[in-house]
Structures are given as structure tokens and as C-alpha cells.
Amino acid sequence: MKEPLNLLQFGGCLIHRPLRSVARARQRLSTENFGPIRAIHTFGEMFQIIDVLRGRRTIPDEYLKLTRGIEGLKPMKSAETFEGTDLALVEPASSVELTFRGISINRTGIMREVFAPIEARAPKAAKVANKWLRVGLSGLNAEVRAETGERLLELIEGRSKEDELARAVIRETEATKSDIPGGFAKMQELLGCPMGVVIYIFRYMPDGRPVSFPAGLREEVIAAAEALKLPTFEPTALVQKFGVAEALTQDSRHYSDAFMPVAGEALMGFVEEVWRNAQGTSAAA
């Protein structure tokens, strides 16, 4: 086994944090050869990161925190071919692209940079903001988005740069359905290295059943990966075996500290299996 394997991670905290939690992964994996690619959710964010690494796109400083995954990244010549990359993990965690002034933005970035300051001054805004993001934007419900957006704008009373940006984000952010099969195909084309797919689970029911949000995302991702013959890592059985209550935090969405290394070892095993199989395929060719 080649050590360390050079890995590109395009996904959320359910792949980043488990792999970081496995001490041995530090010797078995190298994950920052192109900079610190942080937790992201959509194919649009993935493509944008690749454009930044290839020097084809620059994000204005005032919008960087809305993207989250771009901060700290710089153009690198080796990103043209991702030279030296052994494989990539790809985990689309949303089927809805969020775009602001032509930039793919991150829902966590919106919550931290736009909603948190509003809620600090007006706690009642939290419920409205959540509805605007989850039902209006992620749910592609234009009527709810317009109604909750107006209510949020009424709660922003200041004239600072931050206040003006918050107003602009609420007024101008666009939500569109992502092309999941097309996204995987484009990532294969852009990366040119073996690729494994991690199935995102929004949350779990008490009996361990996985729940998708937006609805149908899990099934859509699995179908697209199967069509392209991409290997998949589906964590549901692992969570159920460990015990749902023990494996998850109180929100039933994130891994507990006790489960984190278990998930990390399983992901590490998946990474190594994808790499080994790719070597076998190359040899056969």
C-alpha cells in the first residue's frame, strides 16, 4: 500500500472530521496538497474551488466568508492536472445550488455571516431565517422565500457594510436544482483521478432509517454513482450497527465523539479500497 495516499476531499463535515479523528490517517493520508479545502455541499462549490486552484477565478474578499471553502486557497500549477493526486472523495450534500452575484455560496456561510448578526440583535429572527433558507431556498419555494425574506429585511436596521451585504444576500441569492449525474461526470473529467462517492445522510430516525434533505437526494446520488460505476460509501449500516443514539449527536445529524474514529476507520478503508481497485484496473488496461 502506498503511504501516504494523496486525497482530495470535496464534501462536508461527515468526511472531513472522521478522517481527521483517525490518528493513523496522518501517516496514511495527505489531504492538503492543494491547500485547506474545507467543508462544502454542492457541485457548484466544487467546480468553483477547482477554478480558483487553476487560477481561472478570483473571489472578491468581501464574499470569501460566504463561500467558506475558498478561504486559504491559491492558484497552483499542479492543479491543472491534479498531478500526484491518488484519488478524490466526492460527497454532494445538497441538490440545490445557491448563487450570489455569480458566486457559489455555502449555506453555513450564510448562517454565520448573514443570520448570526441578525439573530444576535433580534432572537426572533432565527425561526424566520431557518424557514427562508430551508423552505424558501433549499425547498425551491419562491413564495416562502419572498415572504420570509421581507420579514428578515425588516429586522436589519443598520447601515454598516455587513448590514448592506446581508440585505443583498437576502434579496439576490438564487436557488437552482443541481444536475447530480452531470456533476459527477464533470468531476471525473476535471480531476482525472480515481473517485469515490460518499453518500450524504441529512439525519437519522431513531430506528436508524436515513432521511434525505432535500427529499430524494440520497437515492439520486446512489443512482448517479451506479450509472457511472463509481464506488460508494454508504454509512447507514455502520451507524445502525454502532447504535443510533450512541453514533450521533442530539441533532441526529452529526457523528458523536465516540463514533467519529469508527467512521474515520471505515472511510479510510474505503479510500484504500478505491485506490487498490484503481491500481488493478490500470494494470489490466
The pLDDT tens digits for 11-49 are 999 999 999 998 777 788 999 889 888 889 999 999 999
Would the pLDDT of 280 be above 90?
A: no
> How sure is the predictor about 282, in pLDDT bands with cuts at 50, 70 and 90?
low
Domain termination residue (choose one: 172, 201, 224) = 172
Count how many domains the chain has: 2
Q: Is the pLDDT of residue 88 over 90?
A: yes
Model confidence at 75, pLDDT cuts 50, 70, 90, reads very high
Same domain membership, residue 131 and residue 25? no
What pLDDT score was predicted for residue 28?
Answer: 87
Per-residue pLDDT reduced to its tens digit, 205-225: 999 999 998 889 999 999 999
**Co-location of 135 and 190 in the same domain:** no
* Torsion angle, alpha carbons of 118, 124, 126, 127, to 10: -150
Taking 60 as the threshold, does the pLDDT of residue 167 lie above it?
A: yes
Q: Strand 29-30 and strand 5-10: pairing?
A: parallel
pTM (2 decimals)? 0.93
Please, are residues 158 and 167 in contact by the beta-carbon 8 Å criterion? Answer: no
158 in a structural domain: yes
pLDDT tops 60 at residue 238: yes
pLDDT higher than 80, residue 284:
no
Give the Cα separation of 99 and 133 in Å (integer).
Answer: 13
Is residue 101 assigned to a domain?
A: no
**113 is in which domain, residue-wise?**
106-172
38 with 139, same domain? no
Domain check: are 187 and 280 in the same one?
yes
Q: Residue 147: enclosing H or E segment and its boundaries?
A: helix 142-154
Same domain, 86 and 207: yes
Mean pLDDT of 182-192: 97
One domain for residues 12 and 90: yes
Residue 281 pLDDT: 65
Q: Residue 231 has what pLDDT?
A: 98
